[in-house]
Structure 1
């Protein structure tokens, strides 16, 4: 079967691998689309702490049941919740399995969706609604990340919001907030091409390379500051800004994974009595909410900027590691399917 395989740092190959075989409790999915995530870029760079070559990456994907599912017939359109939980640690035993102490993911700790076929746990397979395209089906996972961040942050409709980062997660957070009734929402992004994508989606934007972000946000909120700040960028310069642009007793939600521990102004956090919420992945309920959202808000598909063939394996990663307009890049395996 055709695969996009991580062969070592900055070495992505298009190659043929053996089709996976059924094992107890697992089923085979015929992949339709698979997206490149920030975690995949860490794997590509050779800095992910768990991923080992050779590896078929991909934990954001859609497809159809091929074999091995006890109730869903062959051809059923599905997506996959890629979290692999141990079921035995304290978080798993107390209803917080999404932060399992031994959490693993399909596409990181075992072969994933960047191949014609993928083997996944039966319990992780989630049927897609009829109106959701297969491309959107492969976007459910990052939308679930956004849903979880917003729900854990306890956002209330009407609150003002600043989002740092106009990548996939930042735009998913913005679209999800808008679907929840957010009106006063600003996206901060230094990449002019991504900033243009945010504008095309109808959002107010700020360019930190040419504008005083703190000044603009404070002025735009009657010198109070934003009610909520979502850090979807994971860049040290953002950490310096988030405590400045949020109001007294405001809310900061850290969504992005930082490659290195950043320096946060704890004094500012104390003086303003800020609420800082860290979030990780999503719960099963978040995943289902994401499916409902995508079913009713097809504009999420506008986040998908590039759909490549698996033969263009290296190109997908080049697009996301150089200055381009790429936001969400996907590989198409079931060619010609919508």
Structure 2
């Protein structure tokens, strides 16, 4: 089968690999579309703590049932909630399995959707609505991340928001906020090409390398500061700004994964009595909401900037590791 394979740090290749073999409790899916995620970039860089080469990456994907599902017939359109939970730890037994102490993912801890065929646990396979295109089915996972961040952050319609990062997750968060009634969302991003995408989607935008960020946010909020700040960038240069631009008793939601522990100004957090919330992946309910969200907002497809054939394996990662306009890059296996 056609596959995009991680072979080692900064090396991916197109290969013809055998189809996955049958595993009890799992079903085989014929892949349609699969998106490159930030986690895939960590694997590509050789810094992911669990992923081992050779690996077929990809945990954001859609496809059709090929065989092995007890209730869904062959050809049924599906996506996969890629979280592999142990079911035995305290979080799993108390309804918090998205923070399972032994959490693994399809596409990281086993082969994923960057292959023409992929197998997934039956209980992780989710049928897609008939009105949802397969390419949008591959966006459900990142939108589930955004839905979880917004819901756990307890955003209230009418509050002003700053989103750091105009990558996939940042734009998914901004679009989710918009669908929740947010009318005052500012996206902060140093890449001018990505800023253009944020502007195209209807958001205010600031390049912090060319404009004084704190001054602009205070100016836009009558000197008060932002009600909510979502960190979807995960870059050390952002950390100082988080506590500076949020209002007194404001809310900071950390969505991005930091590669190294950052330094946070705890004093300013105390003086302003800030709330800082950390979020991770999504619950099953968040995944369901993401499906509904994409079904009702087909214009969210605009964050997909590139469709590639699997034969163009390396190009996808080149686009996302250099200064380009790429946001969501997808491999098309149809």
Shorter-chain TM-score range: over 0.9
- Which residue pairs with 1:227 in the alignment? 227
Counterparts of 1:72-221 in structure 2, within 5 Å, are 72-221=72-221
Name the structure 2 match of 1:8: 8
Task: Let me know the Cα RMSD of the aligned residues.
Answer: 0.5
Q: Distance in 1 between matches of 2:285 and 2:3?
A: 31
Q: What displacement does 1:256 show?
A: 0.3
CA deviations over 1:37-80 (Å, ceiling 9, x no partner): 00000000000000000000000000000000011110000000
Q: Counterpart of 1:228 in 2: which secondary structure?
A: strand
CA-CA distance at 1:112 after TM superposition? 0.2
Q: What TM-score does the superposition give when structure 1 sets the normalisation length?
A: 0.98
Superposed CA deviations along residues 247-279 of structure 1, whole A, max 9, x for unmatched, are 000000000000111000000000000000000
Consecutive aligned runs of 4 or more in structure 1 exceeding 2 Å deviation? none
- Tell me, in whole angstroms, the C-alpha distance in 1 between the residues paired with 2:131 and 2:303: 18
Q: Name the structure 2 match of 1:276.
A: 276
1-structure distance, mates of 2:212, 2:130 = 46
Aligned to 2:320: 320
TM norm structure 2: 1.00
* Runs of 5+ unmatched residues, structure 1: none
Which whole-Å CA distance do the structure 2 matches of 1:72 and 1:115 have between them? Answer: 21
- Per the alignment, residue 21 of structure 1 pairs with 21
Query: In structure 2, how many angstroms separate the alpha carbons of the residues matched to 1:15 and 1:320?
Result: 21
1:242: Cα distance to partner?
A: 0.6
Match of 2:43 in 1: 43
Matched, 1:53 2:48: no
Shift of 1:100: 0.4
Q: Distance in 2 between matches of 1:276 and 1:299?
A: 31
